[in-house]
A and B are shown apart, each in its own frame.
Chain A
């Protein structure tokens, strides 16, 4: 479903003599099969967002190639957009001043979703995510938890094969977080939607992901199952301690152990 082959992305920053090239992602390779639920971990500035932007066609890679749902993201941006759903936890993809239900209607037209399919899917999602009470509220007046549920619904109305989530539980309270996780697990299990999830919340990873990838300094530092990840540290260490050791253990420039 997702194929990344030796993808790299560098930026030129600064001006004049201070000009230099920063490699946000270098030589990144991985594949994600249909129906997988993959956690994508990494410290701040490790290259997670850059990877997500490349996968969704917002950024073009400077080297290597990517395929998402069989398409080259930068060349076939609009075709890809119909097959994937994207949620940015830090900002909404909904229309700020529009009531939630109008945002959904717009998405129906933009993604050319059949009216009957749309009705059915919206009813289903509204039920699962409990949207009923704020469907008529403009997005800017929604609480963070409500907005996030709206954003997830918006990303799923066109029934995408791949769902990319960038920190979907950031800032949510305990109850909202549990509800969101429960929903995502069912989505993956029942519909077989492929999910790629970036997060700083290891609870998300423990509850949801069978497979974990860890990126640091733009390189893939670990790729394996949750149990394998735990096994990299001494017995009795919490997941948090294991991950913290992996983050600090990989010095810049030196490739982390596979």
Chain B
């Protein structure tokens, strides 16, 4: 699987390198569009010193971790959300006649470095925010772990969004509400959102574990909803469960596809 992934991704990467100007434009464009979210946070903090009880550096830390997870997941698996396009054009059938996982073929299709624009952008934000927080050393171990769990959670959501398109082939945009919506949600402290929404993204769609719960540990802050302390360490568990659900949904989708066809 991994070998096939790397091989296909590398081939696409080489193909995209044939148009370097186009590629540079795409990297820059992706960098700039996502930088707008940072600009929004910056402008908000021109008017207030704290949002939902968190300061600028803390919000930037939440933004940076969420966005880095999202950018990595999007780079590696984001293409899965183009499934309905492949089903409608018939190219999904041609993936099924090859001796490789349809998921890997989907994920690597047109793999290009343009998504690295977003990754670079989140790295810059984290690079600025982290030193300003002055985190104690004994808590920083959580930062790489939370980013890794965030990648798994977002990748699972991309996969669920793809699997959903086996059902909603004419309405792939529904998946955007969960993928890009999840990214937008986790860019701000969850304390700004309504309690029902926060409980929903903690216990149903576990977006709270992308950065919020682990960040409460890193920043050593009380949970505004008073949820149990151990949830701060539950990100790997949440990521695992969601990944499992996504794998099952994808398999069910493939089975359903074979029994409907087009």
Contacts and interface: CB of A to CB of B under 8 A. Distances in A.
Interface of A: 11, 50, 53, 56-60, 62, 74, 77-79, 81-82, 84, 86, 88, 90-93, 95, 97-99, 102, 105-106, 109-112, 138
Contacts of B97: 56-58, 81, 84, 86, 93
B8 A74 contact: no
B258 A110 contact: no
A101 B248 CA distance: 36
Contact of A102 (B11, B91, B100, B101): B11
Interface of B: 4, 7-8, 11-12, 14-16, 89-91, 93-94, 96-101, 110, 255, 258-261
A60 B258 contact: yes
B260 A82 contact: no
Contacts of A53: 93, 261
A98 B96 contact: no
Contacts of B8: 106
Contact of A74 (B4, B12, B98, B258): B258
A81 B94 contact: no
Nearest to B260: A11
B93 A110 contact: no
Given A78-B99, A88-B94, A58 B11 contact: no
B259 A102 contact: no
Contacts of A59: 258-259, 261
A57 B96 contact: yes
Residue with the greatest number of chain A CB neighbours at <10 A, chosen from B16, B110, B261: B261
Contacts of A50: 261
B261 to A, nearest CB: 5
A114 to B, nearest CB: 15
A62 B99 CA distance: 23
A164 B72 CA distance: 40
Contact of B96 (A58, A79, A95, A102): A58
Nearest to B90: A91
B236 to A, nearest CB: 31
Given A11-B261, A60-B259, A106-B8, A79 B110 contact: no
B172 to A, nearest CB: 19
B99 A81 contact: yes
Contacts of A78: 99-101
Given A93-B94, A95-B15, 13 more contacts: A53-B261, A56-B97, A59-B258, A59-B261, A60-B259, A77-B96, A78-B99, A81-B97, A88-B93, A90-B90, A93-B97, A97-B16, A112-B99
Contacts of B258: 57-60, 74
B259 A62 contact: yes
B261 A91 contact: no
B7 A106 contact: yes
Given A58-B261, A91-B91, A81 B15 contact: no
Contacts of A105: 11
Contact of A110 (B91, B96, B100, B259): B100
Nearest to A91: B90
A110 B98 contact: yes
B9 to A, nearest CB: 11
B96 A82 contact: no
Contacts of B11: 95, 98, 102, 105-106
A111 B99 contact: yes
> Which 6 interchain pairs have the tightest Cβ spacing?
A81-B99, A93-B94, A60-B258, A78-B99, A59-B261, A58-B96
A110 B94 contact: no
5 contacts: A53-B261, A59-B261, A81-B98, A98-B11, A110-B4
Contacts of B255: 60
Contact of B94 (A74, A91, A98, A106): A91
A111 B4 CA distance: 10
